[in-house]
Homo-oligomer: A and B are copies of this chain.
């Protein structure tokens, strides 16, 4: 019995300890974050269709969005990362502030986005250029299926906040979108958001 108890104790030493974060739904802030990623316009250089507007705004180099990683999970099979993203309101020309956009390095990994606050779009595309846009308002829980690249835009006047959960092993492929862009972009036309073809898509 003593041996088996010792064995149990040794095994249990390798368990991760359960934990929790407190999430404020309206702001997307956690009481504790493992990592905050702050993305400015310069981090998305070349991604906006209106390059003149982008260059003009580069002097100011505004923060477009922040990602709050509640848990920067080890990139292992079975672990889940979770985070919130806050995209600030604003435009580059007539194109809304957006996230950089990526595919998962492990393409078979899906992701769940739940809108907590504000109004935005979740734009997804396949590597063949098929596009799907989902309008995000609080309560919309959108599924990014395997193999779809994804980016998000704030089309409202307040912060657009969403909550993400993803397999920690998914990884990021930013290169494809940095190089080719998204097939569609979301721009303001006559005061409202419209999904249109990206004139600079390669």
The residues of A with any CB-CB pair to B shorter than 8 Å are 8-9, 11-12, 15-25, 30, 70-71, 73, 76-80, 82, 106, 108-112, 114, 122, 124, 126, 128-130, 132, 134, 136, 138-148, 163, 165-167, 170
Contact = CB atoms under 8 A, between A and B. Distances in A.
Contact of A128 (B11, B17, B109): B11
A57 to B, nearest CB: 30
Contacts of A139: 22-25
Which of A141, A145, A167 is most buried by chain B, counting CB atoms within 10 A of its CB?
A141
Nearest to A170: B78
B167 A108 contact: no
Contact of A20 (B9, B21, B129, B140): B140
Nearest to A22: B139
B12 A126 contact: yes
A108 to B, nearest CB: 4
Given A8-B128, A139-B23, A15 B145 contact: yes
A95 to B, nearest CB: 21
Which of A8, A24, A30 is most buried by chain B, counting CB atoms within 10 A of its CB?
A8
A52 to B, nearest CB: 32
Contacts of A136: 20
A143 B108 contact: no
Given A18-B122, A18-B134, 4 more contacts: A12-B130, A15-B145, A15-B147, A167-B167
Contacts of A145: 15-18
B143 A77 contact: no
